[in-house]
């Protein structure tokens, strides 16, 4: 049976910390536009306190989460157990993007491993947490992280990643501002 909470409980924080993959969902305001759902891996999710969850945002082919968070703030994190016992945790809240240009970025990014291609820390100010059984989620075994994203960023170097962001992360697929 699913339950709802006003903040992240200790057992949920422990569950979230153990998950090797989680998903971020956002959408633009108004009619139309594309709902975005992104899988995230590596060791990039942190519960900072019962009312704040953060994830390390790495350079990728799109910038939807950042664009949507800046436009309307709506964001949901979902993690589900692919091992046992089954469980799904969803964290609903307001997203806030913190980039390297901001003073508080250093304190936030220090909570994560150093990963090439880091472009932001996304804070989620928690409004609601829900759990559900996860009985329909298959049991799977983790083989490991895919190294391609970090290898790609290392090959490009900081300057090459910045050029890529300027070309590919300036706007969302719906034309919303992404990264300058």
Which CATH number characterizes residue 62's domain?
2.30.110.10
Structural domain harbouring 59: 3-168
Asked if residue 1 has pLDDT above 90, the reply is: no
Number of domains in the chain: 1
Establish if 21 belongs to a structural domain: yes
Question: CA-based angle 162:153:121, to the nearest 5?
Answer: 70
Across the chain, what does the average pLDDT equal?
96
Give the CA count within 13 Å in the CB-facing half-sphere of 46.
16
pLDDT band at 32 (very low <50, low <70, confident <90, very high): confident
pLDDT of 24 = 98
* Residue 162 neighbours by CB under 8 Å, 6+ apart: none
For residue 56, tell me if it sits in a domain: yes
Structural domain contains residue 180: no
Q: What is the pLDDT of residue 180?
A: 78
Q: Distance between CA atoms of 73 and 175, rounded to whole angstroms? A: 17
**String of DSSP letters for 8-50:** --HHHHHHHHH-S-EEEEE--SSSS---EEEEE-SS-EEEEET
Between the two ends of the chain, the Cα-to-Cα distance in Å is 44
Q: Within a domain: residue 155?
A: yes
Cβ neighbors of 166 (< 8 A, separation 6 or more) are: 179
pLDDT > 70: percent of the chain: 99
In this predicted structure, the answer to whether residue 97 has a pLDDT above a threshold of 90 is yes
The mean pLDDT of 149-168, rounded to a whole number, is 96
Q: What is the pLDDT of residue 159?
A: 97
């Amino acid at each position: 049976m699913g339950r709802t909470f006003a903040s992240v409980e200790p057992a949920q924080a422990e569950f979230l910390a153990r998950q090797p993959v989680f998903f971020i969902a956002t959408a633009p305001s108004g009619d139309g536009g594309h709902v975005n759902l992104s899988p995230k891996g590596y060791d990039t999710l942190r519960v900072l306190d019962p009312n704040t969850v953060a994830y390390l945002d790495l350079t990728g082919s799109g910038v939807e989460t950042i664009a949507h968070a800046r436009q309307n703030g709506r964001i949901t994190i979902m993690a589900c157990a692919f091992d046992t016992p089954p469980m799904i945790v969803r964290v609903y809240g307001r997203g806030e993007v913190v980039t390297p240009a901001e003073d508080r970025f250093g304190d936030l990014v220090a909570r994560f491993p150093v990963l090439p291609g880091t472009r932001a820390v996304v804070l989620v100010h928690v409004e609601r947490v829900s759990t559900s059984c996860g009985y329909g989620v298959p049991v799977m075994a983790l083989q490991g992280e895919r190294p391609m994203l970090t290898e790609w960023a290392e090959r490009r170097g900081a300057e090459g990643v910045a050029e890529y962001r300027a070309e590919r992360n300036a706007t969302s697929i719906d034309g919303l501002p992404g990264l300058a």
